[in-house]
A and B are shown apart, each in its own frame.
Chain A
Amino acid sequence: MAYPAGYKYTTDHEWIEINGDRGKVGITDYAQQQLGDVVYLELPEVGAKLTRGLAFGTIESVKAVSELYAPVGGEVVEVNAALKSKPEAVSTDPHGSWMIVVKLSNPAEAGVLLDAAQYTALVSQ
């Protein structure tokens, strides 16, 4: 599965699609492959404050629990409620399954994220 060119990526395997001062956040195809079938998501409430690099939720597959790490700092302005009741969509459509929308507190933070080519190189090693 190709990594969308318009997204930015973390080394923890989250993606963020930034539009102005807002970004949709999900996990990459590589991450969902490592997890196996996703069965449960624990996501923050609207209004929760995120710090770049710290956990904002958890994702569970049949066999394991993993943390979700914030690609940028900011405030959660939207949560994908539909995804919470249908978490298996993360496995089938990882790059279309956004989990939260974050309002970036410091848009400059996005500068340290990987672009699609860099991320592809990272997971191809």
Chain B
Amino acid sequence: MEQAPVASLKKTPLNARHRSSGARMVPFSGWDMPVEYSGITGEHMAVRERAGLFDVSHMGEIEIAGKDALAAVQRISCNDAAKLQVGQAHYSGLLTPQGTFVDDLLVYRLASAHFLLVVNAGNIAQDYAWIAEHITPAGDAVAVDASSRYALIAVQGPAALEILQPLTGVDLGALKYYWFAHGEVAGVLATLSRTGYTGEDGFEMFVPPQSADRVWLAILESGKAAGVTPCGLGARDTLRLEAGMRLHGSDIDETTTALEADLAWIVGWNKEDFVGASALREQKSHGVRRKIVGFEMLDKGIARHSYDTYASGVKAGHVTSGTQTPYLKKAIGMAYLPVESAGLDTEFEIDIRGRRARARVVPLPFYKRPK
């Protein structure tokens, strides 16, 4: 079936490739994006067992540079960027003064006073405005929305390294998890980063938009024997959920703090002031009243985003993410529960379209890749 593009949607540099390859396209955060190529289950399994190829060029890139760039990043990003060496990246949050999420992001230290922030597609304009406003007191630093200068392509899965290595002179095996290097891939200038949103080993490549299609085709060709599979956002979502990774807008947002989201590990407790610090310190000293948990269903049914949860018969919150996972073949999800009901193995109920179904709190992540 032909799918007419919606005129107002933004397109990544690979849009024509997705359409000519028969991907099913959907509007996502203002972008015309592939939700699936051959089917979410098959794509999900390909990433767990072989490799998947993703276009994530809709993600935003904001650069912060200037003499006081570190101070600027330290102020707006909750993790401690002073711990980053040049060539290293980490997961972090842009927080409100209340310690809740404006967005979550990856922070890359390109040079000692030059950072690259990768933010969610739907939040680029809002993040940029928020960053520009909040870095002013930090001194001599500017923020630039560089999103249109990058295409972002991810190869994820146990075969990712063997597929990519023939295409680049960068020694990928020497690149540690959450480190990156500049080089070329398929003859195209690229920044190669050992990161991803699937719970597998893999790489994300920042390339010039006009060269994205060339890189995409080169990876498909190089990965043919290993069984590389083009994947859409549907599999990206089920993969990240199995890996216990939070999705901004579902699991974390402006109503949930970094502590409630069980992300204390991305808070730079020892650094100086940052936006949200005092609220988080206060919450830490008093303890949170609710927190995010992973759960699996005990009764039949699949809990979905926004379904109500009940602890000891009392409405307790709602499901933030939920699906039937292709690899673990279980109905799983995440939800906020009062701390007294959030202990491992605690049973609670979820209202699945009018029927109460039992679920049990289990450890996050649901899936951990074999080392």
Q: Which residues of A contact B (CB under 8 A)?
A: 30, 33, 36-37, 39-40, 42, 58, 60-63, 65, 88, 91, 123-124
Name the prevailing secondary structure of the A interface residues: mixed
Given contacts A36-B39, A42-B301, 19 further A-B contacts (CB under 8 A): A37-B41, A37-B326, A39-B324, A40-B300, A40-B302, A60-B302, A61-B40, A62-B40, A62-B41, A62-B234, A62-B323, A62-B324, A62-B326, A63-B234, A65-B302, A65-B304, A65-B353, A91-B39, A124-B1
CB-CB under 8 A from A124, the residues of chain B are 1
Of the candidates A42, A60, A63, the one whose C-beta lies within 8 Å of that of B35 is: A63
The answer to whether B324 touches A60, judged by C-beta atoms less than 8 angstroms apart, is yes
The answer to whether A36 touches B234, judged by C-beta atoms less than 8 angstroms apart, is yes
For the complex of A and B, 5 pairs with smallest distance between CB atoms: A39-B324, A37-B41, A62-B40, A63-B234, A37-B39
Nearest residue in A to B304 (C-beta to C-beta)? A65
Question: Cα distance A37–B44 when bound, in Å?
Answer: 11
CB-CB under 8 A from B234, the residues of chain A are 36, 62-63
For chain B, residues 292 to 335, give those with C-beta under 8 angstroms from any C-beta of chain A.
300-302, 304, 323-324, 326, 331
Question: Cα distance A33–B238 when bound, in Å?
Answer: 18
Q: Known A62-B234, A62-B323, A62-B324; judge A40-B39 contact (CB<8 A).
A: no
Q: Known A63-B234, A65-B302, A65-B304; judge A58-B324 contact (CB<8 A).
A: no
CB-CB under 8 A from A39, the residues of chain B are 41, 302, 324
The answer to whether A63 touches B323, judged by C-beta atoms less than 8 angstroms apart, is yes
For chain B, residues 125 to 177, give those with C-beta under 8 angstroms from any C-beta of chain A.
none
Q: Known A62-B234, A63-B323; judge A36-B40 contact (CB<8 A).
A: yes
Is B103 part of the contact surface with A, judged by Cβ < 8 Å? no
29 A-B pairs within 8 Å (CB atoms) are namely: A30-B1, A33-B1, A36-B24, A36-B35, A36-B36, A36-B39, A36-B234, A37-B40, A37-B326, A39-B41, A39-B324, A40-B300, A40-B301, A40-B302, A40-B324, A40-B331, A58-B353, A60-B324, A61-B40, A62-B41, A62-B324, A63-B35, A63-B40, A63-B323, A65-B304, A88-B41, A91-B39, A123-B1, A124-B1
Distance between B242 CB and nearest chain A CB, rounded to angstroms:
12
Q: Which residues of B contact A (CB under 8 A)?
A: 1, 24, 35-36, 39-42, 44, 234, 237-238, 300-302, 304, 323-324, 326, 331, 353
Distance between A77 CB and nearest chain B CB, rounded to angstroms:
23
CB-CB under 8 A from A33, the residues of chain B are 1
Question: Cα distance A40–B324 when bound, in Å?
Answer: 8
Distance between A108 CB and nearest chain B CB, rounded to angstroms:
32
Distance between A42 CB and nearest chain B CB, rounded to angstroms:
8
Distance between A27 CB and nearest chain B CB, rounded to angstroms:
16
CB-CB under 8 A from B40, the residues of chain A are 36-37, 61-63
Question: Cα distance A61–B234 when bound, in Å?
Answer: 11
Question: Cα distance A26–B64 when bound, in Å?
Answer: 56
Question: Cα distance A65–B353 when bound, in Å?
Answer: 10
Nearest residue in B to A67 (C-beta to C-beta)? B353
Nearest residue in B to A58 (C-beta to C-beta)? B353
Nearest residue in A to B324 (C-beta to C-beta)? A39
Question: Cα distance A91–B41 when bound, in Å?
Answer: 11
Question: Cα distance A31–B305 when bound, in Å?
Answer: 22
Distance between B349 CB and nearest chain A CB, rounded to angstroms:
17
CB-CB under 8 A from A36, the residues of chain B are 24, 35-36, 39-40, 234
Distance between A47 CB and nearest chain B CB, rounded to angstroms:
19
Question: Cα distance A89–B14 when bound, in Å?
Answer: 33
Nearest residue in B to A30 (C-beta to C-beta)? B1
Nearest residue in B to A124 (C-beta to C-beta)? B1
CB-CB under 8 A from A62, the residues of chain B are 40-41, 44, 234, 238, 323-324, 326
CB-CB under 8 A from B42, the residues of chain A are 37
Distance between B261 CB and nearest chain A CB, rounded to angstroms:
23
Question: Cα distance A39–B40 when bound, in Å?
Answer: 11
Distance between B306 CB and nearest chain A CB, rounded to angstroms:
12
Distance between A76 CB and nearest chain B CB, rounded to angstroms:
18
